[in-house]
Structure 1
Amino acid sequence: MDVSCDLEVDVNGEEVFIVDKKIISSYSGRIRKLFSKLTGGAKSLKVIFHDFPGGAESFELMTRFCYNNGKVEINPLNLSLLYCIANFMEMNKSVSGSISLLEQTEKSLEEIRYWTWSELLVALNQCQDLLPVANSSGILIKCLDSLFGRLALGNETSPCPSISSTDSFGIRFSCDTRSTESLKNSSFRATWWFEDLVAFNPNLVEMLTKSMVSRKFDHVIISRFLFYYQKSRFILATSDEKRKISETVVNMLYSLDQNAISCKSLFGILRVTLNLNISKCCRNKLESMIGSQMDRATLDNLLVPSPIGSNCLYDVNLVLRFLKSFLGKGVSCVPLVQLKKVSSLMDLYIAEVAPDPCLKPSKFLALVRALPDSARESYDGIYRAMDMYLEVHARLTEEEQIKLCCGLNYEKLSSEVCNRLAQNEKFPSKLAIQALFSQQCKLKSLLTETNQTKPFIDSPLSFVDIDTKGKEDESCEQIVVYAGKLDLSAENEKLRAHLQGMQWRVLELEKDCRKMQSQMTKIMKSRLSSHSNAKSLPRLCS
């Protein structure tokens, strides 16, 4: 073969090759098109490629094929590279009876089902360096399909057969032992491929995840792989690489069933991305996923340090956004069990952030009011947190204190806490008296209900009607409850026990009423004496 060097080829700025234009163009349709309209006898010809797949090494492999009369050894280790070269250079023409490079690689690709796992991984690793040609040519999709088939086959499990209730204990015990081992083996079968795919770049992982989702792959396994991938790749990654990895993982997790995602792992990603400056869209997705699982969170999860530049200890705004996502579809759409779990968690969180001297009253009140009143059965925890907050923020005006305490529901405070509030000088006097009045109303309501449900009491119940315009010295009327003649026959034993229990409850309520009245009298005397010019208090409860 006569060889001349009349064509200069610059490959991606990596290296310059001097080749025979006639030989290369005979195999490459792309080169032929470049010079088909060329007229005249130009002495110097040059071609510059900026996106040649595989770079200078790949171009050298192509020239060997051309100079060797269209012959080259094709195997799984170089198939992806040769296939992309054949597509990019349009090498689909047979020369001198030899089969074109594209035909040869397509024929070899048909044998992909016989490749070993290692060979398939090599081919995929080559594909990720050959984008976008590997994607447009279709070889990447074929490799991913083959990979998915291997994963689906490897995830098949053989659980222990069900044992009927008539089987002996010995058989059940044997099966339980085998089941334990089976669970371990099943877990290994489901995750054995994690380490092998860690080498893939984020773009390839994104394509793989989308393929798995479209093929109904187990979302739990997918989410576990994504968390594993993020953790493993972070070890040696730069800041920019970490940002790209995190955004890919979050976007892919967002496409999964949220019930299949670990809440703890989501908080792990949140903490490592705090200073990575990930996109706002990605951060919103992450916060939305966490918010939807607030009932699975713990107090430690929520104690996220505040952003740089903020004086607060913890990022309260972040937690408020979590709660907004949690209630995103409306309170009526949230199961009551989950609502109460989040309520208990928030009571702990509010108590934890309350001593922060930099926490503004508006933010504290926003935390208290973030959940609907129906979420809490008791406001005792909120009172204790508010007590700590007022102790740290002693310089708040009375108006600010009253506004802050609007977050309390006095009807859901226990009698013990109401008594403490009434004697707590950190709370405004109006609120202390309001708490006592609320308890008076609650007692009156209970006594009224009891009176309406007991036909055995001959005389009606009496309840003190407190007027704060000067009747604070009056003592509470004694409540007299007694039972009439009861049928003590065997048939009415249950009724008798029930009635006696109700009678005992009424007597206990009477004692609480007298005790509360006494406390109210003392408090009003002490506080009204220091506010002699204050206006009369309104009648809050009758």
Structure 2
Amino acid sequence: MAAKFCYGVNFEITPANVAHLSCAAAYLEMTGDYSGDNLSSRTQEYLESVVYKRLELCLEILTQCETLLPLADELNIVPRCIDAIASKACAEQIAISFSRLEYSGSGRLHMSRHASCEGDWWIEDLSVLRVDFYQRVIAAMKCRGVRPESIAASLVNYAQKELNKKSPSENEKQVVEAIVGLLPDEKCVIPIGFLFGLLRSGVSLDCAVACRLDLERRIGSQLEMATLDDLLIPSFRHAGDTLFDVDTVHRILACFFQHKDESDEDGMEDESSDVFDECDTPLPPSQTSLFKVAKLLDHYLAEIAPDANLKLSKFIAIAETLPTHARTVHDSLYRAIDIYLKVRSIVSLMLGLFQYLIHGVC
């Protein structure tokens, strides 16, 4: 087509060829420095008047630019497409939010419950992007102020598509690390089951330590929402180790208590000076979450107890993570200990656990 342009043959610039033509024009120096009517200016005009105004066309151009790097980046095609996508997604959410404002029965203005899920049609469309382009688009959206819930939904959708392929790809590790780096900071925006899924992938793919620690911290801050299946993370180490990754769960518990301590300190600062009757005072959220985690942990101990490779020191370390007041009853803990002993039937183990029961529980 560049040759057709040189010989004055008429041709049509379309979304399917504009990126290639723009790069060819730059490479062949068919720019305004040599002619007023040049291929570079014609492709630039098409990009400005057609492509950058439509989100779906920007996505189409980005997929074409995957084979045109670094020239497409240097010509500002990629950055302009990314900025256009982020701007339009944000503008559409704002427009829909204003159009869905309603007055409640009390006369107060509030958001329609359907408004928050509209304007997110782009979530599925972004899944066609290569991970490095996707990462740049989401980062731009966060800077533009796109809702954290929408960002989270897009991340979940992208991860499910990229990490659940029938034939594993070589860039799965890059995908996990990129998604973790893009996770919103707001608590409970990302489902905890999804965080555990990312952590499993991160461990199996040997992702960066910082990536895994970030996931453990996020999980720890909302551990009370986890299920037993979430905690049963397979061990991907050498033979002779435990069936489940006990060390990771131990670190997650440490993150939970660190978060709880910080929340308790904030709660003490905000606590009212009013005195309430102790029987009428509801449990603070941190205490409720503590009891939930205690129950979950004892069920976890019972599940890992039959593992012949689980050392007594690790079993006790997990059990001792909880403070004594966290367990209102100890039936589940005794059951876990009973399972552990029946599998081994070793006197020395019984003595060690007996000492733990005397000093830790009683």
- Shorter-chain TM-score bucket reads 0.7 to 0.9
Indicate conservation of the 8 Å contact 1:365/1:407, yes or no.
no
The aligned residue for residue 87 of structure 2 is 149
Indicate conservation of the 8 Å contact 1:243/1:273, yes or no.
yes
1:76 matches 2:15 = yes
- Residue pairs, 1:16-415, within 5 angstroms: 61-65=1-5, 67-68=6-7, 73-95=12-34, 98-112=36-50, 115-155=53-93, 156-157=96-97, 158-159=99-100, 161-164=102-105, 187=117, 189-233=118-162, 234-253=164-183, 256-308=185-237, 309-328=239-258, 331-333=261-263, 335-397=286-348, 399-405=351-357, 408-410=360-362
Separation in structure 2 between the aligned mates of residue 134 and residue 83 of structure 1, nearest angstrom = 8
| Per-residue deviation, residues 373-397 of structure 1 (Å, max 9, x unmatched) | 3433444432332233233332132
| Per-residue deviation, residues 337-385 of structure 1 (Å, max 9, x unmatched) | 3333222211221232233333211011111112333433444432332
Aligned length: 332
Separation in structure 2 between the aligned mates of residue 81 and residue 257 of structure 1, nearest angstrom = 41
Question: For 1:161, what is the secondary structure of its paired residue?
Answer: strand
Separation in structure 1 between the aligned mates of residue 106 and residue 333 of structure 2, nearest angstrom = 51
| Per-residue deviation, residues 284-320 of structure 1 (Å, max 9, x unmatched) | 3333322222121111111223335245332211211
Separation in structure 1 between the aligned mates of residue 353 and residue 57 of structure 2, nearest angstrom = 71
Taking structure 1 as reference, are residues 307 and 119 closer, same or farther at Cα in structure 2, changes over 3 Å only? closer
Gap runs ≥5 in structure 2: 265-285
Separation in structure 2 between the aligned mates of residue 377 and residue 353 of structure 1, nearest angstrom = 22
Indicate conservation of the 8 Å contact 2:305/2:336, yes or no.
yes
Separation in structure 1 between the aligned mates of residue 292 and residue 119 of structure 2, nearest angstrom = 32
Q: Of the two, which has the highest radius of gyration?
A: 1
Partner amino acid for 2:306?
P
Q: Give 1:240 shift.
A: 0.9
Indicate conservation of the 8 Å contact 1:209/1:252, yes or no.
yes
% identical aligned pairs: 31
Question: For 1:150, what is the secondary structure of its paired residue?
Answer: helix
Q: As a proportion of its length, which structure holds more helix?
A: 2
Taking structure 1 as reference, are residues 347 and 407 closer, same or farther at Cα in structure 2, changes over 3 Å only? farther
Taking structure 1 as reference, are residues 83 and 371 closer, same or farther at Cα in structure 2, changes over 3 Å only? farther
Taking structure 1 as reference, are residues 364 and 190 closer, same or farther at Cα in structure 2, changes over 3 Å only? farther
Separation in structure 1 between the aligned mates of residue 137 and residue 338 of structure 2, nearest angstrom = 54
The aligned residue for residue 30 of structure 1 is none
Indicate conservation of the 8 Å contact 1:70/1:99, yes or no.
no
> Normalising by the residue count of structure 1, what TM-score does the alignment of the two structures yield?
0.54
Gap runs ≥5 in structure 1: 1-60, 167-178, 411-542
Indicate conservation of the 8 Å contact 2:177/2:211, yes or no.
yes
Taking structure 1 as reference, are residues 362 and 337 closer, same or farther at Cα in structure 2, changes over 3 Å only? same
| Per-residue deviation, residues 180-218 of structure 1 (Å, max 9, x unmatched) | xx756853x243222222110000110011001111111
- Residue pairs, 1:463-474, within 5 angstroms: none
Separation in structure 2 between the aligned mates of residue 406 and residue 89 of structure 1, nearest angstrom = 83
Separation in structure 2 between the aligned mates of residue 206 and residue 306 of structure 1, nearest angstrom = 29
Separation in structure 1 between the aligned mates of residue 144 and residue 56 of structure 2, nearest angstrom = 23
Separation in structure 2 between the aligned mates of residue 298 and residue 364 of structure 1, nearest angstrom = 19
Separation in structure 2 between the aligned mates of residue 403 and residue 64 of structure 1, nearest angstrom = 88
Indicate conservation of the 8 Å contact 2:294/2:327, yes or no.
yes
Separation in structure 2 between the aligned mates of residue 114 and residue 311 of structure 1, nearest angstrom = 55
Partner amino acid for 1:75?
T
Partner amino acid for 2:42?
Q
CA RMSD of aligned residues (A): 3.1
